[in-house]
A = this chain, B = another copy of it.
Amino acid sequence: MRETKSKYAILGMLSIEPMSGYDIKKEIQESISYFWAESYGQIYPVLKSLVAEKLVTKTVQKGAGKPDRHVYSLTERGRKELRAWLAEGASMPKVERNEMLLKLFFGEEVAVSVNIRHVEEFRELQRVLLEKYKAIEKELKATCADNPNAPYWLMTVRYGQQIRQALLDWCDETLTKLNKMVKAAGDKH
């Protein structure tokens, strides 16, 4: 049987409410995309194996014209499996490949201005993401105040904010250093 973390991400989504594969993709995108992603290449095969393991059940809703909706619901066994996994120790994140940092590490090979451009582009992304996470926090507080999940969801949003803010600070610090290098030596190459 397919043993992957995707399994638990999907079980977790179905623990909130029954959904189709398409819904799962969209929900993940809209709720936990800043620390988790799933592609159809995983979702559909995993759903198939979850049915085989009787952790979810599948019902087909005849689509009015649209393709049929295959809606999956968590079974009691599924919920037990999810809880067992939640209780286990979490494996720590592996290194996140960062291309911008790789370029900066070899930065001496090119002009300082090139490195400045990389950091500026990275900074812009962090700024946009931080704005987005702040908007999500606001919306969560407004619409889910009585949802028992809300405190946990807010914690994960704060995680995203904290990282983006730290990276913004790093960008500013780094740009200051790079600009000093331009002034000190003139732009080499």
Contacts and interface: CB of A to CB of B under 8 A. Distances in A.
A102 interface: yes
A114 B95 contact: no
Interface string A84-121: 01110111111111111111111111100011011001
A160 to B, nearest CB: 9
Interface stretch (A51-59, A133-141, A161-169): A161-169
Contacts of A22: none
B121 A106 contact: no
A169 B89 CA distance: 21
A19 interface: no
Interface residues of A, number: 67
Given A89-B117, A101-B159, 4 more contacts: A12-B105, A82-B106, A105-B153, A162-B173
Contact of A37 (B94, B101, B117): B94
A70 B107 CA distance: 27
Contacts of A162: 166-167, 169-170, 173
B152 A97 contact: no
Given A36-B95, A166-B165, A110 B90 contact: no
Contacts of A12: 102, 105-106
A15 interface: yes
A65 to B, nearest CB: 34
A121 B148 CA distance: 24
A145 interface: no
A83 B110 contact: yes
A43 interface: no
A181 to B, nearest CB: 7
A90 B99 contact: yes
Contact of A105 (B5, B106, B152, B181): B152
Contacts of A36: 95, 97-98, 101-102
